[in-house]
Structure 1
Amino acid sequence: MFDRIARTVTRYPLSVLLAWLVLAVGALPLARMAPAHLAANASSVKNSEAQQVAEIYQREFGQTFTDRTVLVSESAIPARDPRFLEVYNRLVAQLEAIPGVLGVVRFDTPGPLEGVGQGGRVTATLLETRLEGGEAIVGQIRRAAQAAQTPLVHFYVTGATAVTADFLRLLEADVRRSELIALPLTAVVLVGAFGALVAAALPLVVGLMAITVSLASLYLLTLLGPVSSFAQTVITMLCLGAGIDYALMNVARFREELAKGLSAPAAAAQTVRTAGRAVAFSGLVVALAMGAMLVPDLAFIRSMGIGGVMAILTTVLAALTLLPALLALLGERINRPHWFAFRLTTGGAHPFWERWATLVMGRPWVFTVGVTGILLLLAWPAWSMKLGYTGAFGLGPGVESRKGLELIQQMGLGGASDAFEVLLDLGHEGFTAENRARWRGLEETLSSWPEVRLVVSPFLAARLPSSGSLGDLAALSAQYLSQNRRYLRLTVIPKDALRAPEIPGWVERLRAAAQAAGFKRVLIGGAPVGSWEFTEALVSAMPVAIGTVFAATFVLLAIAFRSLVIPLKSLVMNTLSVGAAYGLITLVFQQGFGARLIGAPTDVGYIDSSLPLLMFAIIFGLSMDYEIFLLSRIQEGHLAGLNTFQSVKAALSRTAGVITSAALIMILVFSAFISGQVVANKTIGLGLATAVLLDATLIRLVLVPAVMVLAGEWNWWLPAPLQRLMPRVRLEP
């Protein structure tokens, strides 16, 4: 297959370039539309308790849940000042006229929720809005609030939908900023690696082309269902990181073949047959790792996996077709202009790396034990990792929705968007006087909890002087007593915004209180429960997802290298790099150590639940790039008759420069995401940059050669029955 690709691409390079140009021109408009069609909210878990509560409420109560948005004012004048009231009243009138705003509870409305705080300098106005089209409604609310601001009065809009809108806006901005930061720095590294401008430009062309086509594919995917906003981040990271890496390896091999005296087409063809094989196999392993995201039965997570698989397949296709066509046309011109005498990649054995390999393999036990100890120490904090939906806490300081939440948190209204729905199933018994008494008793019990701000029920309406009319009572009763009088409902609003680790305790206590009141069938729903169930579903699927990737990767590596020891060693070493990355993000983003140094909040307290599996897939896949690139050269020496020491030394001296250059580029790409305002992006960027740094230095340049020389000929151990059954596949022709 690779011979056919090599012949076709190098025989018709102009046709290949034209095909890619047409593809890019057609993909560009779709790629630009992709970010606006992505979703930030996690999909619901099938048959989950929260989903059952929502379905019963819609079916039996004849209503749907609405959204709660909070308009927060912060002013230099008291809320009773006529100047404030003039601005505020005009704004409220505008908000009430917005389609989709179903109700407005002013800050000065008498009731159980105090709408004024900080000596009258902060107010909270509750808006009930439709869930459908919620982001557009919040957008109108924000535009009205921004237009109403004065030098003395500032408004902030917060709530679940407002947080989502900020998240999507900042996520797209983070990706664009990261590209603008990473591309120039990457170009500098590539010029230093190759010492020639033309050679340095080719990996950038491959990476940018892969991003364009992959984002267009992502847009088409959004037409079929909801796609995670993180898919854009995954595509940018994989296409820039892996795309430039693959191109770097191919260009380095092409220059090596040119130095042997081959013509440009022949050198390009040989590059496809050699480095191209390793790139294709590496891409297969990366795609397999991204396939771990397809295991959880969550459309939101699966969309990230599909996006990652599309990105890596597109990148491999560009590296095997577009790049060789360019190489065949350029020939020796790839080395022009000569800017530097020093190159990180030389196209042959480098004396420094030969000496380094000799040093490491001369004391293999010292380096093996030492490096393993360092990696295990870095991974240690990961044992205390906590997962959950970060919400507004996942945004940087100063973001509007987070600022608004922080202000109402001080007023005891932080839990306004984190309400629990307690659904009581009366069964065939129905609504009796006894059940009514139990219902009221449960409401009084929950209202007495110090951490509860308010329990909403018909009993509350009857107690309030401003809401005690028969009309108000009837309207509220219709929301809390089902039409068939089988279900009762209570809405429990916490005093403070909930952190993810607190949610299971709330669910357990609410259920226990309802059962203690005499209700046997109890369902707990609401936004906090939905996010917790999403986390639980994702965490429970991780062992299967990771185990599947491990098993499939082991088989692929065993076939490629005809060994059982090499794939086992590779899995262990990749696990060490993943563990170290997990440990660092836990230390920084959960425990807050050094968080301020990278502009991250110190009070998040946990890791976004979707990140560990996503990071595992990316780290595991990309770590295999270096592993396969190095091992394919070691295998080449082994098959040529060299012993373990000689083959490892030869392979390391020829690949270390490329590996360090490729790693530096990936570190730059990933580190660029640390500058963003979305904590999840910072987490991914820091974790992946750390993993690549450790993988390309301590693992590939120290641990791999040390362990290889310790294993000796056992590296290639394969039982005789498997030697007969296993197909023969080589990464080198």
Structure 2
Amino acid sequence: MQAEPTDVRGRTDTSAVTAPGLTTRVALWSIAHRWVVVVGWVVLTLAGGLAAERAGDRLSFRFDLPGQPAYETNSAIVERFGSGGDNPPLVAVVRLPPGTTVDSPGVRGELAGVFDRAAASVPGARTASLLTDGGKAFVSADGRTTFALFYPIPEYTSSDPYAKALPALTRAVAGASVAGSPVHVTGASVLASGGASGGSGVLVETLAAGAAALVVLAIVFGSLLALLPLLIAVVAIPTTFVGIYALTYVTDMSTITRNIVALVGLGVAIDYALLVVTRWREERGLGADNRAAVLKSSATAGRSVVFSGITVTVSLAALALTPVPFLRSIGYAGLLIPLVSVAVSTTLLPVILDAIGPRLEWPRKKPAGTVSRLWTGVARWVVGHRITATVGSLAVLALLIVPVFSLNLGEPQAGATAATADVEARAGLRALTDSGIGPGVLRPTELLLPVDANLPAVDGISATAPDAWRHDASRVVDAWSAAEPTSGAGKDALRAIRDAAGRVPGARVGGSPAQDGDFVHALYGPDLLIIVAAIVIVTMLLLTRALRSVWLPIKALLLNVVSLAAAYGVLTFVWQEGHGTRALFSSPATGAITLWVPLAVFALLFGLSMDYEVFILTRINEEYENGHSPDEAVIRGIGRTGRLVTSGALILFLAFVALGGVPQTDVKILSTGLAAGIILDATLIRGVLAPALVSLFGRLNWWMPAPVARVLRVTPIRQTTMEKEDRQR
């Protein structure tokens, strides 16, 4: 005969059995049909492994912006001329020895031999140099440095459109010299790739993150239970790839979705399993038998998991609704992984706990404690010093937020991306920079003009338009300044080029700097406000119903804004301003934060941090509903969830650190924002500021206007608590 489950005071609580909610009914059905559940998930996991392998060939490396003017211009350039557009050129650079200039005897002949050989190695490429142009745009002020532009035909079968052209061009100039000086091949794509074969792959990242997670879980559980959250992740991640593979037949899916599914999936699935297993442990520690503990954990922790998963899914819709295809694909992946993780955690996990849960406590010999003395002490201090905790937390967060006001969106500057590039590419960049030509030539603005039109001269702007760059009624003109395109001077140069093009009838502006501007408009224009507003409203409704309060969801959303602002501030301080990048990443300041990173950080951190808020507040609600005062509910709630939240955050932190193992600077920036944001959120914000605010507002936290309660069909917690108190009298 099953023992009746009890609440935290030892009283009989039959709600999980006599009035089962959805999660309890799902758990009961899963236990009754355990072999159907187990076999079903095994089949999906195996199918997911196969889908992950096959999906790799169908994932896209493109960064399209359909409908945006620069993107459409770039597409027209590639269609008519076969290359260029938003694909910056490869650049062959030579720095002549002192006393030698491009006008020295024999130098031009040697240049012609090297550049002709290089052009022959990339058939069909558009080329431009001193020899084709004849002007001073390709020569430094001292006459010692010159370069050639090569626009190979791009291939989109890898992240680098010049993956095949670059080795061919490099081999063509290998060992070549002009007046005894070597020729170096560089370019924006070469520098950004961080070395074609460098860095870790998705499998290596996931294994590293999984190993780190196992260490954390072993410390938390001290038994074989540490393997259970990892098992849930092992099932959830491949299963998600079934959906990813299916989506590749409907829409373009970016290759970066593999990283997102693997690492975010690892963190989310483990978080959900941690919550359920920890609650199961707690119920067993209070005297419930195994089946009752499983059902109680499903009714309480399982319900929190469902609401958390839905909230994460809604927040990731921010990416799915953007007009940028590759970000939409990340959003689709983000929509799938929390839903799959919820499904596994509410079906397979209860089956495993019911069947072999107690045996997984080996080698632990005494009952496990589920209340953290550390976090109980922290919560007690926070409640006792609520004003000091609130003011102190906000002061620290304000310092972290300040740098965000200087946030500059754009591609990282060449000096930063060069940190992980090969020696030849760095040498080429150094020659351009030291000579005064500057890095701006690595990403020229490409203009599409009528064949008989010319770009008006602009001070500080170099331009080239070889006769070979003509096709029917069109011609291409490249224009650049010495400045980095993402710097203030570089953006001024783009505006000057646009103004000059505006005086030419039929002129169109393209190139990667112009497309960057379109990217900012597409991502951060008026549509984003609508998307964010929709997410906030839906999240507010979900949380209001889940927490049975109006103020708690408002507070949670406001804290999310603070959390995100702090993460952006850290990104700006570390990467854009360069504080610590040399020590941590052997890289100088980027001068800008990659265009798409802030939106990706918003979508991922908003959902993940809301996870922790739901975990904490639902437990505080439960303690309050059981008759404890608001302060005591905070202490007990944090004491029972603090270790869980920080353990989950640590696992996610390590997963994001593993994501930073890839060579691309863009991904390193993303991983830094996510890692810093998740740790700040789980400790300072959810561990100190959130409970301090709950303590400050007391019973007002559970304010629920009667009309709202009727619409959402919930019973306010304050009313429920008062009814319990009346019954106890």
TM-score, normalized by length of structure 1?
0.82
Q: Sort the Cα spacing of 1:124 and 1:217 in 2 relative to 1 into closer, same or farther, 3 A.
A: farther
Residue 464 of structure 2 aligns with which residue?
Answer: 455
Cα-to-partner distance string for 1:297-342 (whole Å, 9 max, x where unaligned): 2212211111111121122222122222222221211101239x8x
Q: Give the residue type in structure 2 aligned to 1:531.
A: D
Measured in 2, the distance between the counterparts of 1:296 and 1:395 equals 27
Q: Give the residue type in structure 2 aligned to 1:623.
A: S
Q: Give the residue type in structure 1 aligned to 2:574.
A: V
Q: Sort the Cα spacing of 1:290 and 1:156 in 2 relative to 1 into closer, same or farther, 3 A.
A: farther
Measured in 1, the distance between the counterparts of 2:219 and 2:469 equals 70
Q: Which region of structure 1 is more displaced relative to structure 2, 148-157 or 407-416?
A: 148-157
Residue 221 (1) aligns with residue 232 (2): no
Residue 538 of structure 1 aligns with which residue?
Answer: 523
Contact preservation (8 Å) 1:589, 1:600: no
Choose the corresponding residue for 2:548, options 562, 585, 596.
562
How far has the Cα of 1:208 moved from its partner? 2.8
Measured in 2, the distance between the counterparts of 1:265 and 1:168 equals 54
Q: Give the residue type in structure 2 aligned to 1:374.
A: V
Contact preservation (8 Å) 1:68, 1:160: yes
Residue 144 (1) aligns with residue 165 (2): no
How far has the Cα of 1:30 moved from its partner? 2.4
Residue 153 of structure 2 aligns with which residue?
Answer: 130
Contact preservation (8 Å) 2:294, 2:353: yes
Residue 613 of structure 1 aligns with which residue?
Answer: 599
Measured in 1, the distance between the counterparts of 2:383 and 2:334 equals 37
Q: Give the residue type in structure 2 aligned to 1:529.
A: A
TM-score, normalized by length of structure 2?
0.83
How far has the Cα of 1:357 moved from its partner? 2.5
* SS of structure 1 residue aligned to 2:164: helix
How far has the Cα of 1:511 moved from its partner? 3.7
Contact preservation (8 Å) 1:246, 1:319: yes
How far has the Cα of 1:7 moved from its partner? 1.0
Q: Which region of structure 1 is more displaced relative to structure 2, 539-548 or 501-510?
A: 501-510
* SS of structure 1 residue aligned to 2:149: strand
How far has the Cα of 1:698 moved from its partner? 1.8
Q: Give the residue type in structure 1 aligned to 2:165.
A: I
1:434-513 pair list within 5 angstroms: 439=453, 442-443=455-456, 445-446=457-458, 449-450=459-460, 452-456=461-465, 478=471, 481-482=473-474, 490-499=477-486, 501-502=488-489, 504-513=491-500
Contact preservation (8 Å) 2:137, 2:462: no
Choose the corresponding residue for 1:310, options 336, 357, 369.
336
Cα-to-partner distance string for 1:597-656 (whole Å, 9 max, x where unaligned): 211522410101111111111111111122111111111122222221222222122222
How far has the Cα of 1:94 moved from its partner? 8.3
Residue 469 of structure 1 aligns with which residue?
Answer: none
Q: Sort the Cα spacing of 1:133 and 1:589 in 2 relative to 1 into closer, same or farther, 3 A.
A: closer
Q: Give the residue type in structure 1 aligned to 2:497.
A: L
Cα-to-partner distance string for 1:53-96 (whole Å, 9 max, x where unaligned): 3576689xx655546642537799999999xx999969965862
Measured in 2, the distance between the counterparts of 1:638 and 1:156 equals 69
Mark the runs of 5 or more structure 2 residues left unpaired by the alignment. 1-21, 721-729
Choose the corresponding residue for 2:649, options 658, 663, 667.
663
Choose the corresponding residue for 2:282, options 256, 261, 286.
256
Contact preservation (8 Å) 1:413, 1:453: no
Residue 187 (1) aligns with residue 214 (2): yes
Mark the runs of 5 or more structure 1 residues left unpaired by the alignment. 426-430, 462-472, 483-487
Give the share of equivalent positions with the same residue, in percent: 28
How far has the Cα of 1:714 moved from its partner? 0.7
Measured in 1, the distance between the counterparts of 2:664 and 2:174 equals 28
Q: Which region of structure 1 is more displaced relative to structure 2, 130-139 or 380-389?
A: 130-139
Q: Give the residue type in structure 2 aligned to 1:126.
A: L
Residue 96 (1) aligns with residue 123 (2): no
1:314-325 pair list within 5 angstroms: 314-325=340-351
Contact preservation (8 Å) 1:95, 1:144: no
How far has the Cα of 1:183 moved from its partner? 2.1
How far has the Cα of 1:524 moved from its partner? 2.4
Contact preservation (8 Å) 1:68, 1:127: no
Aligned residue pair count = 682
1:289-368 pair list within 5 angstroms: 289-338=315-364, 346-347=369-370, 349-368=371-390
Measured in 2, the distance between the counterparts of 1:570 and 1:693 equals 17
Q: Sort the Cα spacing of 1:38 and 1:132 in 2 relative to 1 into closer, same or farther, 3 A.
A: same
Measured in 1, the distance between the counterparts of 2:558 and 2:290 equals 40
Residue 391 of structure 2 aligns with which residue?
Answer: 369
Measured in 2, the distance between the counterparts of 1:137 and 1:364 equals 56
* SS of structure 2 residue aligned to 1:592: coil
The alignment's C-alpha RMSD in Å is 3.9
Q: Which region of structure 1 is more displaced relative to structure 2, 568-577 or 391-400?
A: 391-400
Residue 602 of structure 1 aligns with which residue?
Answer: 588
Q: Which region of structure 1 is more displaced relative to structure 2, 293-302 or 155-164?
A: 155-164
Measured in 1, the distance between the counterparts of 2:607 and 2:257 equals 16
Contact preservation (8 Å) 1:45, 1:533: no
Q: Give the residue type in structure 1 aligned to 2:650.
A: L
Measured in 2, the distance between the counterparts of 1:406 and 1:321 equals 58
Measured in 1, the distance between the counterparts of 2:480 and 2:163 equals 25
Q: Sort the Cα spacing of 1:704 and 1:53 in 2 relative to 1 into closer, same or farther, 3 A.
A: closer
Contact preservation (8 Å) 1:258, 1:332: no
Q: Which region of structure 1 is more displaced relative to structure 2, 624-633 or 293-302?
A: 293-302
Residue 395 of structure 1 aligns with which residue?
Answer: 417
1:422-437 pair list within 5 angstroms: 422=447
Choose the corresponding residue for 2:558, options 572, 585, 606.
572
Q: Sort the Cα spacing of 1:316 and 1:75 in 2 relative to 1 into closer, same or farther, 3 A.
A: farther
Q: Which region of structure 1 is more displaced relative to structure 2, 654-663 or 722-731?
A: 722-731
Measured in 2, the distance between the counterparts of 1:57 and 1:526 equals 9
Q: Give the residue type in structure 2 aligned to 1:453.
A: S
